[in-house]
Amino acid sequence: MAILFQEKDRTFTLQTEKSTYQMKVDRLGVLLHTYFGAATDASDYSYRIVKGDHGYCSQLGDAVEDRTYSMDYYPQEYPVYGTGDFRITALRAAKAGCVPSLDLRYVGHEIRDGKYALPGLPAMFANPDDRDVQTLEITLKDVREELYVKLLYGVFEKRNIITRAAVIENRGSAAFALHRCMSMSLDFLEGGMDLIHFYGKHAMERQFEREAVRHGITEIGSQRGYSSHHHNPFVILCDRDASEDFGGCYGISLVYSGSYRIQAELDQFDSLRVTCGISDEEFVWNLEKGGSFTAPETVLCYSPDGLTGLSQCIQRAYLRNLIRSPWKDRKRPVLVNNWEGTYFDFNADKLLQIAEQAADIGLDMLVLDDGWFGRRDSDKSGLGDWYVNEKKLGCTLKELVDRINGLGLQFGIWVEPEMVSEDSDLYRAHPEWALTIPGRAPNRGRDQLVLDLSNREVVAYIKETLHSLLDSANIAYIKWDMNRTVDNVYSAADPKMSQGEIRHRFLLGLYEILGSLRESHPDLLLEGCAGGGGRFDAGMLYYEPQIWCSDNTDAIERLRIHCGTSFGYPMSAVSAHVSACPNHQNGRVVPFKTRGICAMQGSFGYELDLSRLSEEEKAEAKRQIRIYKDHCELFQQGDYYRLASPFENRDYAAWSYVSQDRGTASLSVVYTDQHANAKPIRIRWKGLAEDAVYDVDGARCTGAALMHGGMVLPMPACNYDSFMVCIHRIS
């Protein structure tokens, strides 16, 4: 069994193949956290909690004279504000006009097969053939008020994943205000760990940073209304000596796409507490009589096999048990997007010229980016007016799509439904639909405002508009963009509603729209985008199997962006394209071959005017497309290995894919610096079958030789040269 409750000790033990997680109901009914780490037995691990009178540590009222009993240093499963625990807490709530104070005690639990669901929120799920998944629901109640907390745990035994969520219920007669409601809290009695997080900015997302957890509070988060380019809602705690291949590693991933907060506090006794959930910066949720609030899900994974083991565990779990789209199991279309090729300057004839070139080199799809709708010849107008500008195109959208389909290509289109231009028909008709604060000039970003997705009328409008668009032509793919922060947060729809609810209700509206598209058009391929990689998170993956990784299309800078992303997300979710050179973001010139090898790390495509390619580049593009299609299953479903990190190695970056049966594999290297009288480079493969014999460009090599002896790489012939080899098992 994945979940075991032992009545005698009142312990809950959650088991996966590589980890054990345990809680205990103590003598006063407090739910303590006793263990999370490498797989072990179901012994009562509460003996690890050492009691003591430490001074200036308060006791619960019913602990009476026991000065060794204090929530200020006891490890707890869901700590709350008001118990004398002065560390960061998971829940802070109060009746209107009252001081926040709670004291939760255990009242019951339920263990059931399958995985819980969170209505209106993305969450991991069990497939019909997943027989090893169970749910634990523990109910806690405040000692005085009729306020209940249901702690939800999903255990994916074979996936080595434990999920957590919390539901707050008001069963009393008076309203409560939630001022903080985290999805989870996790206490470690020993805090000697490193914290890895992924910081960045627009066009340089998910940069790897590792440092020892310091005393005090370390915080990773976003107040921007979306998960952001600047920090990612995924962190790793690991042993100080953990490496790619060795050491204990904990992954913590929030399945949410809005403002969030992850905090780590190393306390006076070197214990470590980590909390994760919705940002409480502006959060206030009115919990009326009979009401409930559901905090989004957090995914936990422990791996004893280093950072590679952790990454592969999360990547496999997300592919199988988070992404809803059927495209997770299908070969993704290799596409060309017209954006960097034309920007706003296009018509049907120019698009058809690109489509003809795309068909000639073997591409599968043409994607029409920004500028096809309303009066949209720059980024200053037209957002919200999702009707086709037939004058600009010179035809209807259906006529254009039919002609592109006639060339053997599928058709995709760009939208940005969450935004509105002030110079638009929609804004002139409904200025109250935009988030603006009465009496104040709004902050603007990219000359646009944010639509109020907490407003039911706005959600209905976006649904109707998108469904009408999809029904108007044979559209197989949508690129969903979002190009500014969410601020000016005031809703005119219901001024009596707590304005502290708007940010979260905005996300609920967004998820509702995305869910309706998945239900009404199940074969639609959705690609996420938020100024590139500003909303690359587990919440969006639930609806969108791939996300535009960054607006930075430079192959060399993409090496770091891809590497950072790989720690917490499947590489098939990374949308990556070959773009023109000199690169439009930084002016760098990189060989066409290298641009292709870098882009093949993810869902592959092109972002340029194909008609401007030389004959040599067209031949190389045909070769790249053929390689990607021949090895698409390997790139989308194979295990990903970081062989040489661009964050640590200034001379080259290297990575590989190995199929689940270890029968096929690829290795890619990009040289990032050159030297006179250069030394030879040897790369050791990982993940192959030691006793297998592989064909390596006509040579016969054992898996053992390739992994232990390695492969000698060819010397680079030019700046930013690259090398790629695909191998297959022959015996």
Q: pLDDT-derived band of residue 126, with 50, 70 and 90 as boundaries?
A: very high
Average pLDDT of the segment spanning 44-59: 92
Strands (E), 320-437: 335-337, 365-368, 410-415, 419-420
Residue 410 in this model has a pLDDT that exceeds 80: yes
Average pLDDT of the segment spanning 122-133: 96
CATH superfamily of 3-321: alpha-galactosidase from lactobacil brevis (2.70.98.60)
Q: Domain boundaries in the chain?
A: 3-321, 330-419+458-481+527-637, 652-729
652-729 shares the fold of 3-321: no
Q: Which two tokens stand for residue 301?
A: 């994974």
What single string gives the DSSP state of each residue in 284-353?
-EEE-TT-EEEEEEEEEEEESBHHHHHHHHHHHHHHHHT--SGGGGSPPPPEEE-HHHHTT---HHHHHH
pLDDT for 89 equals: 98
Residue 37 in this model has a pLDDT that exceeds 90: yes
| Average pLDDT of the chain, as a whole number | 96
Q: pLDDT-derived band of residue 64, with 50, 70 and 90 as boundaries?
A: confident
Residue 476 in this model has a pLDDT that exceeds 80: yes
Spatial neighbors of 432 by CB under 8 A, at least 6 apart, are 492, 493
Indicate the DSSP class of residue 470: H
| pLDDT over 70 percentage in the chain | 100
Residue 97 in this model has a pLDDT that exceeds 90: no
Average pLDDT of the segment spanning 590-609: 97
Tell me if residue 124 falls in helix, strand or coil: coil
- Residues 568 and 550: their CA atoms lie apart, in Å, by 16
pLDDT for 498 equals: 80
pLDDT for 1 equals: 76
pLDDT for 652 equals: 97
pLDDT for 481 equals: 98
pLDDT for 108 equals: 98
- Residues 251 and 634: their CA atoms lie apart, in Å, by 25
- Asked if 672 contacts 650 with a C-beta cutoff of 8 angstroms, the reply is yes
Peptide bond into 646 cis (omega under 30): no
Residues 206-226 have pLDDT tens digits of 999 999 999 999 999 999 999
Q: pLDDT-derived band of residue 345, with 50, 70 and 90 as boundaries?
A: very high
pLDDT for 494 equals: 83
Residue 496 in this model has a pLDDT that exceeds 80: no
Residues 353-390 have pLDDT tens digits of 999 999 999 999 999 999 999 999 999 999 999 999 99
Average pLDDT of the segment spanning 333-345: 96
The CATH class of 330-419+458-481+527-637 is alpha beta
The CATH class of 652-729 is mainly beta
Residue 497 in this model has a pLDDT that exceeds 80: no
The pTM of the full predicted model, rounded to 2 decimals, is: 0.97
Distances (CA, A) of 56 to 30, 70, 268: 21, 10, 12
pLDDT for 369 equals: 97
- Asked if 642 contacts 655 with a C-beta cutoff of 8 angstroms, the reply is yes
Residues forming the active site:
537, 617
Residue 65 in this model has a pLDDT that exceeds 90: no
